[in-house]
Amino acid sequence: MDNTKKRILMLCWEFPPNIVGGLSRHVYGLSVQLAELGYEVHVLTAGNATTTSFENIRNVLIHRIQPLNELDEQFLSWIGGLNLAMALKAEELIAENQFHIIHAHDWLVGAAAIALNESLSIPLIATIHATEHGRNNGIYTEMQKFIHHQEQLLINAANQIIVCSEYMKEEINTVFQKMEEKITVIPNGFEPLKGNLAPHEVLPNLKNKKYIFSIGRIVKEKGFDTIIEAAAIAKENEKDIYFVIAGKGPMLESYRRQVIGKKLEEYVVFVGFITDEVRNTLILNSEMAVIPSLYEPFGIVALETMNLEKPTIVSETGGLKGIVKHLHSGLLMNPGDAKSLLEQVFYLRQNPEQAIAIGKKGKQIINSLYGWKRIAAETSRLIEDTYLSQKVNEKNVFSESPNII
Amino acid sequence: MGFNYILIVCGLEEDMIVEKFLEGQTLEAINPLKGVLQAKLVSPRKIILFWEVSNLPQKIIQLFFAKSFKDLVQLIRIYDVTDIIFNGRNAHHYYEIAYSYENGYWSIKGLSPNRSYIAEIGVKFSRNDFFPILRSNNIQIPMSDVPNGEEMLFNLTKQQSNSHPPKWIDHVSTYSFYEDSQTTEKNNG
């Protein structure tokens, strides 16, 4: 397939070095792989005073944009400003070169994507990574209503929608009106982490200590309360257990205070943001990993721990239950159930040989299913199909109405 | 065409000055560029702003803010940024002038001598809620032989200097905005 002349306009509000969660890494991995397949990929993303406004990383052309209202106190106005700045930048790029596809990631860039799609008739693919309804288990506040509405607009306008799991497909069909015919499930890919320091270089008190690793954005839906509860039960029963939880987010300080309040410092620690190197080190040296999410459209962190052959316990929810087969490639726990979490931990401890086998199987499965090459090839097929159907539709419109030419 | 276009912009009384300004310049030099607000000095106290009209701003405002562009007050802000690295918030002061985005150009007179200005074209959502569309280059108004403080034609609005990052930054976590609740923190990273 000759993709050399196809240009993709990738819109995402975060992109490395700005990494908060899975979105930034995903768009980075996808862009690099699509560039390797021969596409000319332009990423439009938010910049700041410390980032360069233009950069070429592994043949991906990155345009970092700052909204004019960059100091806006209102988050939504700021996002509005970013969308406007993105759209105007895209218009400038499109004036120089023909673009064939717009690929938008989540509602945060929805307005820019829709405006460009409408004004310039470039087909739009939208990846919906998560929904506001799913994150909050419903829509309650004005802010949530606003975000939900933006998601709805993007879903309606997109020619094609990508979601990362069957679970997300179902969610979109339930929360929004049925969109079956234009939803494609393409899992997230993952890039193996590198780096291996000694664990006590990362955390001094980890020297010669067994620990269970967990990671994610520190928000309610990631279920870290369940770990705190499990730690409290372990303390009560005098069980030797230590959880290391990495990541940052709005709940971090609250969780840290709970740990102190419940005197659980010997059982659980929230280490905050960690670099990729530290993350790799902490996974490699852990006893096992646990991803206790209450809501998880995909669950890319499980892939990272499984890739390092760590037996991984995941919540039986969302994308996670599609990744892990219980007692085969990992273990499933009931979401929000601390006792269920501890049962899985002790099962692995009591069956060390099986724990090793589960770790190995997990690695094997994810490498065959979630390698970036495969994900990029599936995305490429969708790009080609979407572009082609737009062309066919245009042709049909013209042939049915000869007078408009 | 381009020449007439500029004459209309500046009004009859300024024709001679504008002609002088254009003398020796190619028409391309005053052509608007996509996504760029250009400010040029046309007389010692007068600047012209020009831009390429795009339908994207009104589409974004409609899609994101659910507001109709034509129902909003369209405003130019002229910021006095003398000796300042402008960040959108730290101007000495600014003037607000109603304009029409669809025009693609606007002229502004009465600026103070020996001061630097940056303009923004935008719309006003509410009394204190200005949403900028484009920001111009910095323009220096030349020194005057006889300083005249009364040249300021517009009301001065004092603006506090503010270069701190917005407070919402800690509440945003990749995909969403996390509002304060009993269990949500105010200050953390």
Q: In which band, very low, low, confident or very high, does the pLDDT at A56 lie, cut at 50, 70 and 90?
A: very high
- The average pLDDT across A123-136 equals 94
SS3 B88: coil
Helix (H) or strand (E) holding A353: helix A352-369
Instruction: State the burial class of residue A209 (Cβ atoms within 10 Å of its Cβ: 0-12, 13-18, 19+).
Output: middle
Please indicate whether residue A137 or residue A194 has the higher confidence score (pLDDT): A137
Q: Name which of A24, A75, A83 is nearest B60 (Cβ-Cβ).
A: A83
Q: Does A359 share its domain with A378?
A: no
Q: Does A228 share its domain with A334?
A: yes
The per-residue pLDDT for B165 is: 58
Say whether the peptide bond before residue A17 is cis (omega within 30 degrees of 0).
Answer: yes
Whether the pLDDT of residue A15 is over 50: the answer is yes
pTM score over 0.90: no
Is position A194 within any domain? no
Does the distance separating the beta carbons of A150 and B135 come in below 8 Å?
no
User: pLDDT by residue (tens digit) across B154-163?
Assistant: 333 333 334 4
Q: Is B133 part of the contact surface with chain A (CB cutoff 8 Å)?
A: yes
Using alpha carbons only, what angle is made at residue A353 by residues A352 and A359, rounded to the nearest 5 degrees?
Answer: 90
User: How many distinct structural domains can be found in chain A?
Assistant: 2
Q: Is B110 left (phi over 0), alpha (psi -120 to 50) or beta?
A: left
Q: Which of A278-282, A376-380, B143-147 is modeled with the greatest confidence?
A: A376-380
Helix (H) or strand (E) holding A148: helix A142-157
Q: Name which of B65, B135, B166 is nearest A73 (Cβ-Cβ).
A: B166
Average pLDDT over chain A, rounded to an integer: 91
Please indicate whether residue B189 or residue A381 has the higher confidence score (pLDDT): A381
Q: Is B31 part of the contact surface with chain A (CB cutoff 8 Å)?
A: no
The answer to whether the CB of A280 falls within 8 A of the CB of A196 is yes
Domain interval for residue A273 = 199-369
Please indicate whether residue A403 or residue B165 has the higher confidence score (pLDDT): B165
Structure tokens at B148: 């005249």
End-to-end Cα, chain A, rounded Å: 32
Q: Does A71 share its domain with A17?
A: yes
Which of A77, A96, A120 is the mutation pick for testing B, counting most B CBs within 10 A? A77
The per-residue pLDDT for A9 is: 98
User: Among A12-26, A287-301, B44-58, B137-151, whose mean pLDDT is lowest?
Assistant: B137-151
- The average pLDDT across B173-183 equals 52
Q: Name which of A22, A141, A253 is nearest B185 (Cβ-Cβ).
A: A253
* C-alpha pair distances (Å), B39 with each of A376, B42, B139: 45, 9, 7
The per-residue pLDDT for A219 is: 94
Structure tokens at A326: 């219980």
Is position A277 within any domain? yes
Among A289, A274, A279, A273, CA closest to A194:
A279
The residues with which A125 forms a beta bridge, in sequence order, are A103, A160
Which residues in chain B have Cβ-Cβ distances shorter than 8 Å to A88? Answer: 34-35, 54, 56-57, 134
Which residues in chain B have Cβ-Cβ distances shorter than 8 Å to A73? Answer: 166-168
Whether the pLDDT of residue A189 is over 80: the answer is yes
Is position A223 within any domain? yes
Question: What CATH number did the domain enclosing A287 receive?
Answer: 3.40.50.2000
* C-alpha pair distances (Å), A383 with each of A102, A122, A392: 9, 12, 14
For domain B2-160, the CATH architecture is Sandwich (2.60)
Q: Does A31 share its domain with A161?
A: yes
Is position A399 within any domain? yes
Q: Quick one: closest CA in A to B55, which residue? A: A119
User: pLDDT by residue (tens digit) across A297-338?
Assistant: 888 899 999 999 999 999 999 889 888 999 999 999 999 999
Is position A324 within any domain? yes
Q: Where are the alpha helices (DSSP H) in B53-174?
A: 56-65
The per-residue pLDDT for B187 is: 36
User: DSSP 3-state helix, strand, coil percentages of chain A (rounded to 5)?
Assistant: 50, 15, 35
User: pLDDT by residue (tens digit) across A91-120?
Assistant: 999 999 999 999 999 999 999 999 999 998
Q: Does A275 share its domain with A381?
A: no
Q: Name which of A21, A84, A249 is nearest B60 (Cβ-Cβ).
A: A84
Is position A2 within any domain? no
The per-residue pLDDT for B157 is: 38
Please indicate whether residue A172 or residue B11 has the higher confidence score (pLDDT): A172
Length of chain A counted residue by residue: 405
Integer Cα distance of A266 and B184 in angstroms: 24
The answer to whether the CB of A91 falls within 8 A of the CB of A116 is yes
User: How many angstroms away from the CA of B166 is the closest CA of chain A?
Assistant: 5
User: pLDDT by residue (tens digit) across B24-44?
Assistant: 444 445 678 889 999 999 888
Q: Give residue limits of the domains in chain B.
A: 2-160
